[in-house]
Chain A
């Protein structure tokens, strides 16, 4: 990783006074994760360049006390990141503060400066770099770095070589880099704490308040610095990693973006709750309850004495417990609700004896080859009085903007069914297990493509004897 700062101010070697680092010497500082070094590749009257680099100890990153990485193969030793900000603050704290022992006048005036960072992670929108730096008075030039010259078809890497040019105070340039480099780093880390908020406000004084991309900068800065916090070690081995809760949320968010204009999820919940009320159910199963959205609504229904949420992912289930504040519920309310880890493809005696079951936006997350097991477990074994199943209506996808013809609404969807496919499946299941079925749609109805969500209400036919 290399950051160079060049000036053509005459005499250019005054850069040494501004940085308070002599151009003929090598300046190093030890940091917890390695060494930061400043030196001058060029230092003439016309042009002077200071170069800053970091030697990061890759083993320390994984094994050390302040370890921030799980894998030895990571870009921290090479790419500009929050580690660079830490180094800038340590090496050039005075200059960043706008002070210079021998050239205070110069420190306070804009001079021609050029900063170049190689490589800089720039994940996100193509014009992100411009939107961050241009409002601050820089000309921005970003050269893409190919992913691998041996594989031109792979395209560019997430990194660029960034050049900024402008007439600014040196302290301003350093401060902008201090804040914006972590912002440009990817967002895979977590938010740290109050102290970082204060630091951001201090460093951003005078420019961040009015920056058009202020919102984005604040959000990403706080997350970027979280990189210093060791990532919570995953319970699961990478190779069998089930989705982390955060990943769920991210993907769900993707689905929501597609469906947002109609606030479909709210309408789904409303309709399912209304149906359960109409059924007069006193006990309800929420199969695949996720983080407990439907459960919260069901708790409000009078007369519903037994509400059981079933979820397969232990972490999601724990999340549901937290969100419902189970630990702080009054006893009488707590007795009405139960959360179970369970699976819809195994028979489970605990799921027997319920008046109704809701399976809301769940079946499409199941491999189609496992559906017979689901049918046998729920319709054959648990046999609730009624089963409400909702799933996306694939016909409707034609109406979503930004959706490729064969795309599905959620990356984890294994299938999405047309109305005809859903009807065929539901009627076969009803027939095999002695349930009557009726269908309806949820969300704005299109005369051709129907509603975005389709719903089947199965009701157990008491007089049908199942000999299977």
Chain B
């Protein structure tokens, strides 16, 4: 006997003790799929037959079942389940999580069960319980469908039980293997003229032959209709013909809309009010042959509520679909798909107030839908409404997937007056779609990244980051990325040096990255420049409506400038440079994110320079100066103190060098004319994270931008190094020596590829090689004395490098998610993760 069970279902094994449920379960299901009441009794009371543990055991059983159903896991409950009341709670759980409830009933002769129990030493309770179970089962068997169980499979003999073959069937909405490309088409509402034009624009050929239509799609593409093909518009029958033809010929899919469903009910002869444009459709149907209505009734009846496509990355439903309903089937799911959820309130136009599910959406799948007409299609948290009100005089819109391009054709005229004016673009002016939940960031978080698998954020780090994020960081809508920390090179093998480029080259060389890019390292402060081309772009793309066009933030997400006029002035200049360099148009973007170093260092670090660096210099020079004088006097008297005198002189020289070292990075700051910005990565722009471009591409972009405004923007010097060419390597080392001898901070060595991998995975995205004098302000005036250097060379980079990789992966993940229009929550989780990592204690000198 073949039993078909949907691959997402709650299966209740029903039968008296001794009817063989557990061995049946072991034969047909994974051990992890079976939740057994005996097992639960054992867990709470060390005895699988301890009836006094039943209440606690079932509590646990329901908890486990619920966790599984929540996670859309096929679940089998192995308990007697013979009374309706024992099934009731489980059926409620299936309903709550939109799983189909299925019963497999073991309706075997009493004698079989009694005999089997008698053979088991742990079940010496006699025939009484079995008889009671059997009676209870008999009494409720007929009503199990009414209890809410969709399929009841009754096995009446041991032979039948043994002959069972279980076949798992896919849900109709599960089309995860279909990867597209798709053209998803918004609410047509009988606007067949516009549909034909739109299909033509999308490359589909539509040919009519009398009442028969043929549509030929472009190679490999398929259309998906979001529903509401009919009502209000002039050609509902033709819209149906086109869609049905395409679905029948496999060139389209369609989900059911509320109007389609209402038409079907009308065609079924049900008493449906011909309002909201149904009357027009009925009139048009009257012009059609009678078999047309019958054909369409059958077709409409077969439309399903939603599709899950492209490996679960895309969901199409008429009114959208919240995450917990995706890929599930129930009346509630179908209803949500057709109508959405309403709050029960009625607005001033007499229409139900809809719950804005998209504002709270955090799911992985993009949801494309229609139903609610909007002026412009606009992404909200990874969801897109493409009903642009064609029938109301708007336009008919399609989304090309995976390109995520919108294609639309204007309505030829207003066919129908809307009761409620078309809503403004969905990205609204309120906070609603941009609110973040504490539960999504606090506590241990595991974040999936495309470059480095799962990254775990520790609970205490998240707790520490919460304070920084809440009290210091900019609005999370702007915070689409944070940069990773950067490790220095391993300590130099050469005597007298703490860091040199050789070790950085060796690191990459040993990992197989032979082509490197070395960039001059500017001594400034890290800054991310996020710039939208206009205020309108800031509002639409970032959801920020306060008139700002972007933000410049520090590596920990704080506003870089306290002076908002200075920030605005800097961004204005960068905008002009983007314009005159042609980068705006070339990147085909209206926003851009640059990663940069902002100078002078002393502008941000003034308090640090004066309070720590200069103070130490003053103390050192004053004290060592006085000491040297006293030692000279003692030496003049013949006191044997030459060693101390020599050491003091050397220390004084160190202190003088130290003072010179920090002074190289101190410059007066009066305003924008003293500001310098040195971009080094063009991280992202509309539709693209530029982590697929190599560093030469980034440098080329940087140089083009810098040329457009050399007074503000520094063109970072760089060179490409082929490690197999000794001359190039030597040349690069000489370059570093010259730069650092002249007071430069040093250089950053990167593999040619932005995201580089070796045999053992991701490579460090960059390694810094700091100059000898720069290191003096990090490690102290006397760090390069042999006795100090020897000890300082013992330092571990493992933790720093591991953090750099995790932060790199999280930062890029955030960017990718933002570019892909993912929910703000998911972007924020990744950014929050970077900040949390940064609270991890690591040697701050690295």
Contacts and interface: CB of A to CB of B under 8 A. Distances in A.
Interface in B344-387: 345, 347, 353
B839 A39 contact: no
Given A26-B639, A72-B778, A147 B347 contact: no
Given A157-B618, A159-B618, A240 B556 contact: yes
Interface string B602-614: 0000000010111
Nearest to B437: A347
A41 to B, nearest CB: 4
Given A59-B791, A312-B466, A72 B435 contact: no
A83 interface: no
Nearest to B842: A237
- For the residues of B in contact with A, the DSSP-based class is helix
A348 B782 contact: no
Interface residues of B, number: 83
B644 interface: yes
B374 to A, nearest CB: 17
B703 interface: no
A126 interface: no
A41 B468 CA distance: 55
Interface stretch (A269-277, A370-378, A441-449): A370-378
B844 interface: yes
A118 interface: yes
Contacts of A74: 612, 616, 780
B616 A346 contact: no
Contact of B841 (A25, A161, A237): A237
Contact of A59 (B353, B464, B615, B792): B792
Interface stretch (A220-228, A337-345, A418-426): A337-345
A2 B438 contact: no
Given A73-B612, A147-B618, A240-B838, A349 B439 contact: yes
Interface stretch (A50-58, A90-98, A291-299): A50-58
B614 A26 contact: no
A347 B783 CA distance: 49
Contacts of B435: 346-347, 373, 376-377, 380-381
A396 B724 CA distance: 72
Given A234-B841, A237-B840, A373-B475, A37 B441 contact: no
Interface stretch (B7-15, B54-62, B506-514, B620-628): B620-628
A55 B644 CA distance: 9
A348 B437 contact: yes
Given A72-B780, A467-B353, A55 B647 contact: yes
Contacts of A75: 615-616, 619-620
Nearest to B783: A72
A148 B617 contact: yes
A42 B644 contact: no
Interface string B622-638: 11111101110110011
Nearest to A313: B467
A24 interface: yes
B633 A41 contact: yes
A242 B471 contact: yes
A238 B844 contact: yes
B5 interface: no
B352 to A, nearest CB: 11
Interface string A121-150: 100000000000000000000000111101
Contacts of A121: 619
A145 B623 CA distance: 10
Nearest to B347: A467
Contacts of A151: 614, 666
Given A49-B630, A79-B623, 6 more contacts: A2-B626, A39-B634, A73-B780, A236-B841, A312-B471, A381-B435
A242 B467 contact: yes
A237 B626 contact: no
A239 B647 CA distance: 35
From A2, A240, A366, name the one whose CB has the most chain B CB atoms within 10 angstroms: A240
Given A73-B777, A235-B464, A41 B634 contact: yes
User: What 4 pairs between A and B have smallest CB-CB spacing?
Assistant: A41-B633, A72-B780, A157-B618, A376-B431
B516 interface: no
A344 B610 CA distance: 35
A468 B475 contact: no
Interface of B: 343, 345, 347, 353, 430-432, 434-439, 441-442, 460, 463-472, 474-475, 546, 555-556, 559, 610, 612-620, 622-627, 629-631, 633-634, 637-641, 644, 647-648, 655, 659, 663, 666, 777-783, 788, 791-792, 835, 838-842, 844-845
A9 to B, nearest CB: 19
Q: Which of A25, A346, A375, A377 has the most CB of B within 10 A?
A: A346
The secondary structure that dominates the A interface is mixed
Contacts of B343: 467
Nearest to B794: A63
A148 B629 CA distance: 20
A343 B466 contact: yes
Interface in A141-195: 145-148, 150-151, 154, 157-159, 161
Contact of A63 (B791, B838, B840): B791
Contact of B622 (A37, A145, A343, A376): A145
Contacts of B470: 312, 343-346, 366, 370
Given A119-B622, A148-B614, A346-B437, A51 B634 contact: yes
Given A237-B840, A373-B431, A51 B630 contact: yes
A11 interface: no
A70 B780 CA distance: 12
B430 A41 contact: no
A378 to B, nearest CB: 12
Contacts of A235: 460, 464, 839, 841
A78 interface: yes
Nearest to B845: A72
A180 to B, nearest CB: 18
Contacts of B442: 341
A78 B435 CA distance: 53
Contacts of B844: 70-71, 237-239
Contacts of A233: 841
Interface string A234-253: 11111110100000000000
